[in-house]
């Protein structure tokens, strides 16, 4: 089985993913969004276009040089949406990456060693699960400054219990297979067994599941921004832009609709990619 899994498994998954039209469409849309957001500094000056106030042009659409119009302070809405996307994507993806690293360590150790180690780690995760995720994040952000790093840590912490349980379940299904026992019998160290033999064959479905957490991370940071606990003004962030523009929604629909559309399109793209990746990896695993 190990040899069969070792025959370009990720290439096989990629071929399956590339045949999935909805996943390819989602990947293309996501690539456009990411490229547009992270190339924003090439087209817009932060001080002039993103945070620069121009009351004379407030709440207009379109304006010369500002195709998506301006917000309540006359700032370039397109520039703020793209710059806000940089913030939302960075925090959403960063929180999942941090949570993935912690969850992989906790879940692997708990499953491989079992016994008291497993019980202790799982009970600790149960304590975190007993606390509502939003309350946990609000408490964390209230205690600490709402910087990008702190927000990533707060959101990532709420993801760890669920992710760790996924990793634990996958490692449990692999650790007692014959090839793992054979490697242990040959005198391989625990670290080598885990890194070279257990995790590579357990982590595939887990990675696909982890990708599905990214939309949740973006929605969470947008929610925190909407209630004023996310990135603070004047730095743009999609949720905060929705909150600041809701008072003007009847007279200037664009300052809430367009940031909202950016959130929706990003979530759709990530969901399509995540579903396609999960199907591709699950199909590969089912044929091993």
- 3-state SS of the chain is CHHHHCCCHHHHHHHHHHHCHHHHHHHHHHHHHHHHHHCHHHHCCHHHHHCCCCHHHCCCCCECCECCCECCCCCEHHHHHHHHHHHHHHHHHHHHHHHHHHHHHHHHHHHHHCHHHHHHHHHHHHHHHHCCHHHHHHHHHHHCCCCHHHHHHHHHHHHHHHHHHHHHHHHHHHCCCHHHHHHHHCCCCHHHHHHHHHHHHHHHHHHHHHHCHHHHHHHHHHHHHHCCCCCCCCCCCHHHHHHHHHHHCCCCCHHHHHHHHHHHHHHHHHHHHHHHHHHHHHHHHHCC
Q: How many CB atoms lie within 10 A of CB 107?
A: 28
Phi/psi of residue 197, nearest 5 degrees: -125, -40
- The Cα diameter of the chain in Å comes to 77
pLDDT for res 29: 95
pTM: 0.85
Divide the 288 residues of the chain into consecutive groups of 10 and give the mean pLDDT of each group.
50 80 92 94 91 88 86 92 94 93 90 87 88 84 85 91 89 77 72 73 77 90 90 90 89 91 95 85 53
**What is residue 9's predicted lDDT score, i.e. its pLDDT?**
63
Measure the CA–CA gap between 266 and 264, rounded to whole angstroms. 5
Tokens 């940089």 belong to 86
Tokens 């606990």 sit on residue: 229
b/e map of 249-268 (b: 16 or more CB within 10 Å)? eeebebbbebbbebbeebbe
Residues 6+ apart with CB under 8 A from 189: none
Q: What local confidence, expressed as pLDDT, does residue 219 receive? A: 92
């Amino acid at each position: 089985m190990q040899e069969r899994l070792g025959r370009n498994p990720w290439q096989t998954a990629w071929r399956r993913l590339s045949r999935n039209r909805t996943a390819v469409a989602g990947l293309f849309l996501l690539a456009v969004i990411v490229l547009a957001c992270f190339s924003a500094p090439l087209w817009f000056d932060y001080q002039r276009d993103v945070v620069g106030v121009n009351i004379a042009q407030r709440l207009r659409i379109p304006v010369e040089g500002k195709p998506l119009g301006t917000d309540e302070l006359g700032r370039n809405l397109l520039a703020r949406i793209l710059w806000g996307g940089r913030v939302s994507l960075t925090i959403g993806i960063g929180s999942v990456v941090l949570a993935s690293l912690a969850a992989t360590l906790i879940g692997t150790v708990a499953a491989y060693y079992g016994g008291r180690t497993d019980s202790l780690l799982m009970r600790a995760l149960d304590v975190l699960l007993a606390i509502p995720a939003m309350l946990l994040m609000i408490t964390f952000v209230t205690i600490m400054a709402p910087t990008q790093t702190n927000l990533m840590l707060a959101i990532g912490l709420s993801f760890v219990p669920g992710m760790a349980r996924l990793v634990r379940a996958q490692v449990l299904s692999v650790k007692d297979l014959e090839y793992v026992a054979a490697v242990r019998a040959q005198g391989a160290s625990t670290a080598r067994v885990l890194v070279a033999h257990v995790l590579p064959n357990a982590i595939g479905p887990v990675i696909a599941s982890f990708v599905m957490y990214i939309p949740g991370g973006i929605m969470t940071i947008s929610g925190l921004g909407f209630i004023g606990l996310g990135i603070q003004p004047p730095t743009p962030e999609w949720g905060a832009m929705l909150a600041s523009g809701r008072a003007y929604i009847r007279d200037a629909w664009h300052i809430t609709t367009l940031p909202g559309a950016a959130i929706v399109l990003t979530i759709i793209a990530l969901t399509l990619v995540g579903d396609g990746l999960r199907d591709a990896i699950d199909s590969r695993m089912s044929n091993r």
